[in-house]
């Protein structure tokens, strides 16, 4: 439980609502955050870091869609430190102004403080979180009406329409690309008698290239693998076919954007390389972990590929969740390698895609509507 | 009674995946011993790696349990040998490490080898 306590208020929005006035435009809203120390000891807190709304606030729009905030500026030395302690019984107040897009509205939005690191009062597993605070946002202002009379107004309107068409067309041809390299860990416990060897903490790096294409409505996840050991070209092809078949076109990302209204199909692409790899795989007699694959195996390698995308194991107890024995008939691929993945196995792909596109994404089955 | 030994070759490599370890479980007792080869098949299950400071180095996740070979019966004096063609994760940072073989067939104290040092870089 975090030692600090946090409250959030949006006073101008509250006053406008009480007085029955129109909602305050987002660029005029200020979010007030108060961080208090009710404990009996000093608690470190970095006010400079907390002043960045994108580091400390979460904002959601109507229907719960996350509103992505602008990136913070490059940190200074002071912003990277643990900060100054908040003394017992003391508090600090932060005010966030002019960080919301003027074109945000309309609708009911909500904001809260979330500190997921010690410098912001919490930890990844136990963040410092305030209650949500609602505020209304008015419709964004329309394009300004030109003051010049007809026919110039007509000409301007036509020109604006053509600009919209061109920009819309260009928007649906965008491509985003990024290299993903994330540290992943899991702790397995509760292995049954005789399987205690599985209990322990494991770590690896999920590495892949992410490419999002609006023109084809696809998210292409490429893992470059350098193979050593004895494996034939046919066996390598069998690996590739098995993996791509298991992980491609099963799920899609539904993004809050005008393009690809039916979602971006997630496609897995395995490339075997001699250098510049994301992962090294040693071919051997059997598949025994993410880096050691059976040359003749085309089943368990599908599960190991899931680890390369950041998915965790789902047998025994993993990070506190009890999944039961491995290789259950109805288990998903991270429990039973012979079966299909489920949406949560693409979570790293989803969050990275969301960050790239700057639009909230949800993972859905390929056949489901967005 | 089982005794574990481990060797690493080469002792130094710029590429961690080129390090090879060979482990041996020997029955040094008078009675036969049952050995479960599945517990020795994966470096993630059978090896422990630490950095110079002693901090454990997490290995990639182990294989999904449920596909096991039959136990091996070791007569007195017999040994079971396992080879880990590539036991160190490719992302290991340059530096000195230690590794040992660990055979853990139950909740009791595992059978472990001596620590063996190796270098990456």
The ipTM, to two decimals, is 0.93
What integer best gives the mean pLDDT of chain A? Answer: 88
Pick the residue from chain A with its C-alpha nearest to B20.
Answer: A282
- Give residue A164's pLDDT: 61
Instruction: Verify whether the Cβ–Cβ distance B91 to A228 is below 8 Å.
Output: no
What is the count of residue pairs from A and B with beta carbons less than 8 Å apart?
108
pTM of the model: 0.67
Using only C-alpha atoms, chain A has a radius of gyration, in whole angstroms, of 25
Q: In the structure, what pLDDT confidence band is assigned to residue A98 with cuts at 50, 70 and 90?
A: confident
Which among A130, A102, A93, A132 has a CA at the least distance from the CA of A23? A102
Chain A residues with CB inside 8 Å of B104's CB? 196-197
Instruction: Verify whether the Cβ–Cβ distance A194 to B105 is below 8 Å.
Output: yes
- Give residue A314's pLDDT: 97
**Measured between CB atoms, does A198 come within 8 Å of chain B?**
yes
pLDDT higher at A15 or A96: A96
Q: What is the pLDDT of residues B58-112, one digit of tens each?
A: 999 999 998 877 899 999 999 999 999 889 999 899 999 999 999 999 989 999 9
Chain B residues with CB inside 8 Å of A294's CB? none
Q: Largest Cα–Cα distance of chain B, in whole Å?
A: 44
- Give residue A19's pLDDT: 77
What sign for the dihedral angle of Cα B40, B91, A201, B63?
A: negative
Contact B20, B84 (CB under 8 A): yes
Contact B118, B8 (CB under 8 A): yes
Out of A204, A279, A280, name the one closest to residue B61 (CB).
Answer: A204
Pick the residue from chain A with its C-alpha nearest to B45.
Answer: A197
| Number of alpha carbons in the 13 Å side-chain half-sphere of residue B100 | 15
Instruction: Verify whether the Cβ–Cβ distance B90 to A197 is below 8 Å.
Output: no
Out of B17, B64, B102, name the one closest to residue A327 (CB).
Answer: B64
Phi-psi map region of A347: left, alpha, beta (phi>0 left; psi -120 to 50 alpha) = alpha
A298, A300, A308, B42, B63 from A286: Cα distances, Å: 10, 9, 18, 9, 10
Out of B41, B64, B86, name the one closest to residue A326 (CB).
Answer: B64
Which among B93, B74, B91, B77 has a CA at the least distance from the CA of B34? B74
Q: What is the pLDDT of residues A19-47, one digit of tens each?
A: 788 888 877 788 889 999 988 888 888 88
């Amino acid at each position: 439980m975090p030692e600090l306590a946090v409250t959030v208020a949006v006073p101008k929005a509250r006053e406008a609502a009480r007085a029955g006035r129109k909602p305050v435009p987002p660029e005029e809203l200020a979010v007030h955050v108060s961080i208090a120390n009710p404990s009996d000891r000093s608690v470190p807190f970095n006010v400079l870091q907390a002043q960045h709304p994108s580091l400390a606030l979460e904002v959601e729009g109507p229907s719960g869609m996350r509103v992505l905030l602008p990136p913070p500026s490059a940190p200074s030395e002071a912003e990277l430190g643990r900060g100054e302690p908040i003394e017992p019984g003391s508090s600090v107040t932060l005010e966030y102004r002019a960080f919301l897009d003027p074109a945000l509205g309309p609708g009911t939005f909500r904001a809260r403080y979330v500190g997921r690191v010690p410098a912001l009062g919490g930890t990844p597993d136990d963040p410092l979180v305030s209650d949500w605070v609602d505020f209304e946002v008015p419709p964004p202002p329309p394009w300004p009406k030109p003051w010049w009379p007809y026919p110039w107004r007509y000409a301007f309107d036509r020109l604006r329409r053509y600009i919209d068409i061109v920009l819309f067309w260009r928007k649906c041809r965008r491509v985003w690309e990024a290299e993903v390299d994330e540290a992943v860990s899991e702790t397995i416990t509760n292995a049954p008698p005789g399987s205690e060897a599985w209990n322990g903490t494991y770590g690896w790096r999920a590495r892949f290239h992410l490419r999002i294409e609006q023109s084809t409505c696809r998210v292409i996840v490429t893992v470059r693998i350098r193979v050593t050991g004895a494996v034939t070209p046919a066996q390598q092809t069998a690996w590739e076919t098995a993996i791509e078949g298991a992980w491609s076109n099963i799920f899609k990302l539904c993004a809050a954007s005008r393009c690809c209204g039916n979602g971006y199909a997630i496609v897995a692409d395995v490339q075997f390389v001699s250098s510049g790899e994301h992962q090294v795989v040693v071919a051997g007699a059997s598949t025994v972990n993410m880096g050691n694959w059976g040359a003749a195996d085309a089943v368990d390698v599908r599960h190991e590929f899931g680890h390369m995308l950041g998915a965790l194991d789902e047998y025994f107890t993993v990070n506190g969740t009890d999944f039961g024995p491995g290789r259950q008939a109805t288990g998903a691929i991270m429990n039973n390698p012979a079966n299909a993945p489920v949406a949560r196995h693409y979570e790293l792909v989803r969050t990275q895609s969301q960050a790239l596109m700057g639009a909230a994404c949800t993972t859905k089955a390929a056949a489901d509507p967005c | 009674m089982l005794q574990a030994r481990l060797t690493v070759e080469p002792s130094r490599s710029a590429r961690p995946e080129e390090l090879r370890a060979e482990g041996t479980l020997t029955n040094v007792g008078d009675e036969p011993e049952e050995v479960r080869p599945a517990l020795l098949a994966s470096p993630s299950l059978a090896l422990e790696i630490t950095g110079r400071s002693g901090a454990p180095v997490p290995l990639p996740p182990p294989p999904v349990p449920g596909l096991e070979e039959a136990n091996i019966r070791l007569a007195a004096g017999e040994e079971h040998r396992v080879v880990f063609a590539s036991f160190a994760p490719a992302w290991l940072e340059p530096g000195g490490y230690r590794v040992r073989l660990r055979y853990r067939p139950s909740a009791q104290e595992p059978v472990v080898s001596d620590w063996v040092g190796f270098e990456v870089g």
